[in-house]
Amino acid sequence: MSRILIVAASTGKNLELAQKFKHSLEVKGHEGTVVDLCTLNAPMYTPLAEKELSDLSVIEHMMDLILSSEAMIVCAPEYNGSIPPVLNNMIAWLSVQSKNFRSLFNQRTIGLASVSGGGGQHAVMSMRMQFSYLGSNVLGRPVIINKTKPFNQSSIDEMIEQVIL
């Protein structure tokens, strides 16, 4: 049984997609944990906040979830041709709070998905670039849902087969 962390970087359709991934994992006998970054209320990362904040339990919890999973699937819409601020903020916090932040991402398999009115390809490119830079093994084929590409269960199933290896 594999443990997969599914990160939703927005509410609404990307959170629904994350839940579909979770359900599909469970049907195949694997464990899926969905984290909605929007509900975590992580403080905005700034160098000053890094020095002054004493309660970073939300960031520590996220680190624990990542370290206890074998792989991740990140569901995020396209925001102005890039990734949502909530995702970028969490990655910033994770990169400065962990004693060895590379252990969070280095050689970790990550699948990318996007439900987006703007197409989603730019969000996927941005996530691919950022997670690759952090040392992750980003799957080649994303799941993209938009006005011209409807939901396709077989795309979810194919990604699951790649992350549970």
Kindly report, residue by residue over 7-47, the tens digit of the pLDDT. 999 999 999 999 999 999 999 999 999 999 999 999 999 99
Pick from 144, 141, 136, 134: nearest CA to 109: 136
pLDDT tens figures, 56-103: 899 999 999 999 999 999 999 999 999 999 999 999 999 987 677 788
pTM over 0.75: yes
CATH class name, domain 3-163 = alpha beta
Per-position b or e across 117-137, b if 16+ CB within 10 A of its CB: eebbebbbbbbbebbeebebb
* Burial (0-12, 13-18, 19+ Cβ within 10 Å), 143: buried
Confidence of residue 54 (pLDDT cuts 50, 70, 90): confident
How would DSSP label each residue in 61-74?
HHHHHHHT-SEEEE
Residue 14 has which token pair? 């990307």
- Alpha-carbon distance of 97 to 126, in angstroms, equals 22
